[in-house]
């Protein structure tokens, strides 16, 4: 494992306009400087958090996923973000972990936001997804998943932690920002892991305002990098393997965690 440089792209999203959004994010990627290991885009970055599946859903060989493949190859790094996907007649808020060679892994959002009727439109994910980046194990999560600590709880077995980073992408509005800012710190502390949060800014098609507050939280629960609230901004940060290892070796709370397994309701 080596230190990883990551870029968080905090951006407005044009409601249900894939073409304009891809143009916007492509420009932001081009404007970013220096080589990074991972670039992270917000939840449903191509369309906004819409339930209009007839207009906005696409298959995995569609425009947005193809764009992700192209950009990951050009930037020579992993790019992550979620897409409204139609799969065998069902719809998913699906996060893509796109590698430079075009190979990818996916995570389907587990906890669907019923206050926005997501549960009436999307199908629920049934599997956790931990991906690997240069030896780092990264647990993929989407927005509302943040409220459910059992789903993201780290495990410690035979001297090893299940993951090193919790990665959340979101369209979480300003009116409840106190909640996510509190929970992000809690998730870092309780799991002895870095937490990354990439949220959108601006008004969506329902006139719901978002301030973003995209950030990186270290395993101590300290915010080490944060975007300015309400502003389109790309920020970068480093994940330090030395800091993570030293902290875990010094304060071995993982040895006292309760052992458990999750039974997934379908």
DSSP the chain: ---EEEEEEE-B--TT-HHHHHHHHHHHHHH--S--SEEE--TTTTT-S---HHHH-B-TTSHHHHHHHHHHHHHTSEEEEEEEEEETTEEEEEEEEE-TTS-EEEEE-SS--GGGTHHHHSPPP----EEEETTEEEEEEEGGGGG-HHHH---EETTEES-SEEEEEE---GGGHHHHHHHHHHHHHHHTSEEEEEE-EEE-TT--EEE---EEE-TTS-EEEEPPTTS-EEEEEEE-HHHHHHHHHHS-GGGGSPP-------
Instruction: Determine which one of 43, 56, 58, 77 is catalytic.
Output: 43
The residues with which 143 forms a beta bridge, in sequence order, are none
Verify whether residue 56 is a known catalytic residue.
no
Question: Can you tell me the distance from the alpha carbon of 15 to that of 134, in angstroms, rounded to the nearest whole number?
Answer: 35
Verify whether residue 143 is a known catalytic residue.
yes
Instruction: Determine which one of 28, 69, 109, 118 is catalytic.
Output: 109
Verify whether residue 43 is a known catalytic residue.
yes
- Active site members: 43, 109, 143
């Amino acid at each position: 494992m080596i230190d990883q440089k990551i870029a968080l792209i905090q951006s407005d999203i044009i409601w249900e306009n894939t073409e304009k959004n891809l143009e916007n994010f492509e420009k932001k990627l081009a404007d970013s400087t220096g080589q990074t290991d991972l670039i992270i885009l917000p939840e449903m970055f191509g369309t906004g958090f819409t339930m209009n599946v007839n207009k906005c859903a696409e298959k995995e060989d569609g425009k947005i996923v193809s764009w992700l493949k192209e950009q990951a190859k050009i930037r020579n790094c992993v790019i992550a973000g979620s897409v409204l996907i139609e799969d065998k007649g069902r719809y998913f808020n699906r996060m893509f972990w796109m590698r430079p060679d075009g190979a990818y892994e996916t995570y389907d959002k587990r906890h669907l936001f019923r206050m926005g009727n997501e549960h009436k439109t999307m199908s629920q994910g049934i599997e956790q997804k931990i991906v690997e980046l240069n030896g780092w194990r990264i647990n993929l999560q989407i927005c509302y998943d943040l409220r459910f600590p059992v789903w993201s709880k780290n495990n410690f077995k035979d001297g090893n932690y299940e993951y090193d980073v919790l990665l959340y992408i979101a369209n979480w509005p300003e009116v409840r920002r106190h909640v996510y800012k509190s929970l992000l710190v809690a998730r870092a502390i309780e799991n002895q892991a870095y937490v990354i949060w990439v949220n959108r800014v601006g008004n969506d098609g329902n006139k719901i305002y978002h301030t973003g507050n995209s950030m990186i939280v270290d395993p101590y629960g300290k915010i080490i990098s944060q975007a300015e609230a309400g502003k389109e901004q790309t920020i970068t940060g480093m994940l330090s393997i030395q800091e993570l290892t030293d902290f875990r070796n010094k304060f071995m709370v993982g040895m006292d965690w309760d052992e458990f397994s999750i039974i997934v309701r379908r």
